[in-house]
Amino acid sequence: MKVNLKVWRQKNNKAQGALKDYAVDGVNPDMSFLEMIDVLNEQLISKNEEPVAFDHDCREGICGMCSMYINGRAHGPLHGTTTCQLYMRHFKDGETIYVEPWRSKAFPVVKDLTVDRSAFDRIIAAGGYVGVNTGQAQDANTIPVEKENAEKAMDAAACIGCGACVAACPNSSAMLFVSAKISHLALFPQGQPERKRRAINMVDQMDEEGFGNCTNIGACEAECPKEIKLTNIARMNRDYLTATLIEE
């Protein structure tokens, strides 16, 4: 099959970018979307043109590195998948496909489709952890955890930090990402001592990074490749409000 691409090309962070047209022929329906871009890049190199820069690593949907806004959707049209797990059979022969980088003030474009998501790291550094040094731990089975809570925590912890929530949100809000980590740790006994401090510090850092605000639209949940739930945002709101309004 053949596809017509409109790919965002931008030399670097300072340069102006624009959509550029490319036709890719001989696309196999069993190819992943990234493999199709590989084919495009080989074509470009053979024509002495610069290949498209894009982030990718594990190509099995877990590292969270791939990040393309495909045909108006974060990670493309398929629900609950990353770009690397999107296969060309989901496109029509001759289809025109828009490929853009994540768009957010907090995710500046590095080059072409590559963006800088270090804001997420800084949010985690602000409080997304349990403050336990190596060697301080007691025996793992000393503290039982309700299975239901462990499962909910795991649901939240499944976040891969790809930033699709920010990309999909009309406000480019990062609340799904932040709340997933706050929820994960809030649901464990181990996370309790820092629970309120964590909520405050992570939310403050999130605000500092320039993300938009959540208006409960739900696009993040709909586009999250790991299907993280909006419930987490409510839990974060609760923790944050408790910490700021009620605690001394």
Partner 1 sequence: MAQSALFKSSIGKKFLMGLTGLFLISFLVIHAAINSMIWFNDGGETFKKWGSFMGTNPIIRAMELVLVAGFIIHIVDGLLLWKQNRDARPVKYAYSNPPAKSKWYSRSMGLLGTLLLIFLVIHSAHFWIPNRMQQGLTDWHNEINLYGRMLEVFKNPLVVAIYVFGCISLFWHLLHGFKSAFQSLGVNHTKYNQTIEYAGIAFSVVIPLLFALMPISIYFGLVN
Partner 2 sequence: MAELNSKIPDGPLGEKWNYYKEHAKLVNPSNKRKLEVIVVGTGLAGASAAATLAELGYRVKAFCFQDSPRRAHSIAAQGGINAAKNYKNDGDSVFRLFYDTVKGGDFRAREANVHRLAEVSVNIIDQCVAQGVPFAREYGGLLDNRSFGGAQVSRTFYARGQTGQQLLLGAYQALERQVGLGNVKMYSRHEMVELVVIDGKARGIIARDLVSGELEKHFGHAVLLCTGGYGNVFYLSTNAMGSNVTAAWKAHKKGAYFGNPCYTQIHPTCIPVTGEYQSKLTLMSESLRNDGRVWVPKSREDAKAIREGKKRAEDIKEEDRDYYLERKYPSFGNLCPRDIASRAAKEACDDGRGIVASGFGVFLDFGDAIKRLGIDVVKARYGELFPMYQNITNEDPLKTPMKIYPAVHYTMGGLWVDYELMTSIPGCYSLGEANFSDHGANRLGASALMQGLADGYFVIPYTVGNYLADEIFTKEIPTDHPAFVEAEKTARERMTGLLNTKGTKSAEQFHKELGKIMWEYCGMARTEEGLTKALGLLKDLRESFWKEVRVMGEFNEFNPELDKAGRVADFIELGELMVLDALKRNESCGGHFRVEYQDGGEAKRDDENYRYVAAWEYKGVGVEPVLHKEALNYENIKLQVRSYK
Distance between CA atoms of residues 234 and 212, nearest Å? 17
Q: Residue 39 CB, nearest distance to partner 1 (Å)?
A: 22
Task: Give the interface segment with partner 2, choosing from 1-9, 44-52, 214-222, 236-244 (CB under 8 A).
Answer: 44-52
Does the protein bind partner 2 through residue 19 (CB under 8 A)? no
Nearest to 162 by CA among 70, 82, 79, 221: 82
Q: Which stretch binds partner 2 (CB under 8 A): 69-77, 98-106, 114-122, 168-176?
A: 114-122
If contact means CB under 5 to 8 A according to the sort of partner, which of partner 1, partner 2, none does residue 9 touch?
none
Site membership for partner 2, residue 126 (CB under 8 A): yes
User: What, of partner 1, partner 2, none, does residue 223 touch, CB below 5 to 8 Å by kind?
Assistant: partner 1
| Residue 150 touching partner 2 (CB under 8 A) | yes
Range 89-108, binding partner 2 (CB under 8 A): 89
Question: In the bound complex, what is the minimum distance in angstroms from residue 105's beta carbon to partner 1?
Answer: 5
How far is 91 from 32, CA to CA, in rounded Å? 11
Q: Which is nearer to partner 2, 1 or 217 (CB)?
A: 1
What one-character-per-residue DSSP string does the chain give? Answer: --EEEEEEE-SSSSS--EEEEEEE-S--TTSBHHHHHHHHHHHHHHTT-PPPP-----SSS-S-----EETTEET-SSTT--GGG-BGGGS-TT-EEEEE----TTS-EEETTEE--HHHHHHHHTT-S----TT----TTSS---HHHHHHHHHHHT-----HHHHHSTT-B-HHHHHHHHHHHHTSGGGSTTHHHHHHHHHHHHHHTT-B---S--HHHHH-TT---THHHHHHHHHHHIIIII--
Exactly one of 33, 64, 106, 174 binds partner 2 (CB under 8 A); that residue is: 64
Binding mask 187-226 for partner 2 (x = CB under 8 A): -x-xx-----------------------------------
Q: Which stretch binds partner 2 (CB under 8 A): 25-33, 170-178, 230-238, 240-248?
A: 25-33
Q: For residue 16, state whether it binds partner 2 (rule: CB under 8 A).
A: no
Whether 158 and 228 have beta carbons less than 8 Å apart is answered as yes
Total residues contacting partner 2 (rule CB under 8 A)? 79
Nearer to partner 1, 78 or 124 (CB): 78
Say how many Å lie between the first and final Cα of the chain, rounded. Answer: 64
Q: Which residues contact partner 1 (rule: CB under 8 A)? A: 6, 8, 19, 69, 71-73, 77, 79, 98, 100, 103-106, 168, 170-173, 175, 196-197, 200-201, 203-204, 206-207, 210-219, 221-223, 230-231, 233-241, 243-245, 247-248
